[in-house]
């Protein structure tokens, strides 16, 4: 019975979030999928960001809007320490010619620092059928530049 109530409550939150999404005010609140500023998009794919030992630290998402603009979204389970940061890199490939943006690129909301849990890249057009996209998320040591955790999406259209 309790499990059924959780499922129903979760469904109600999804429906309510679809009608009027609220922007999370604190970094400890759960963020919806595919956030971009005060709007949300469609999740095309998701990968899990894990340490080498398999500890889950968050997820990376490949997102798009109704106009087929794509972006990468990183959602960490916990805020990084003061000596860590999170980032997502979005690769757009057309005919073997890749281009890359990350959360620090113009139009992104900057890398994830201590006290934060999410970032997104700028949007890139994907209207042409010749584009493919890949989102790669990571948690990195700011002192040694060592990747502490890593994950990626598949490379769908």
Task: Report the pLDDT value the prediction gives residue 156, as an integer from 0 to 100.
Answer: 64
Q: Is residue 31 part of a domain?
A: no
Residue-wise pLDDT for 48-99, tens only, equals 999 999 999 999 999 999 999 999 999 999 999 999 999 999 999 988 899 9
CB distance 68 to 42 below 8 Å: no
Helix (H, G, I), strand (E, B) or coil at 58: strand
Residue-wise pLDDT for 92-131, tens only, equals 998 889 999 999 999 999 999 999 999 999 999 998 778 9
- Domain with 46 in it: what CATH number? 2.60.40
Task: Report the pLDDT value the prediction gives residue 22, as an integer from 0 to 100.
Answer: 35
Q: Is the pLDDT of residue 30 over 60?
A: no
The pTM is what? Answer: 0.78
Task: Report the pLDDT value the prediction gives residue 13, as an integer from 0 to 100.
Answer: 34
Whole domain around residue 133: which residue ranges? Answer: 36-152
Scan for tokens 């794919």, then name that residue: 45
Contacts with 38 (C-beta within 8 Å, 6 or more apart), sequence order: 21, 23
For the segment 17-37, the average pLDDT, to the nearest whole number, is 52
Between CA 110 and CA 35 the distance in angstroms is 14
Q: Is the pLDDT of residue 147 over 50?
A: yes
Q: Is residue 30 part of a domain?
A: no
Domain count, the chain: 1
Half-sphere exposure in the Cβ direction for 93 (13 Å, CA):
11
């Amino acid at each position: 019975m309790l499990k059924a109530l959780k499922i129903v409550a979760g469904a109600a939150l999804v429906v309510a979030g679809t009608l009027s999404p609220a922007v999370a005010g604190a970094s400890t609140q759960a963020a919806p999928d595919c956030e971009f500023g005060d709007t949300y998009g469609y999740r095309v794919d998701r990968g899990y960001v894990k340490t080498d030992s398999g500890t889950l630290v968050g997820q990376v998402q490949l997102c798009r809007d109704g106009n087929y603009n794509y972006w990468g979204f990183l959602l960490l389970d916990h805020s990084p320490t003061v000596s860590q940061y999170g980032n997502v890199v979005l690769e757009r490939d057309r005919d073997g010619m890749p281009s890359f943006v990350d959360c620090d690129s113009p139009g992104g909301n900057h890398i994830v620092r201590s006290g934060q849990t999410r970032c997104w890249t700028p949007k890139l057009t994907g209207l042409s059928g010749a584009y493919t996209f890949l989102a790669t998320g990571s948690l990195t040591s700011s002192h040694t530049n060592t990747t502490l955790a890593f994950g990626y999406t598949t490379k769908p259209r």
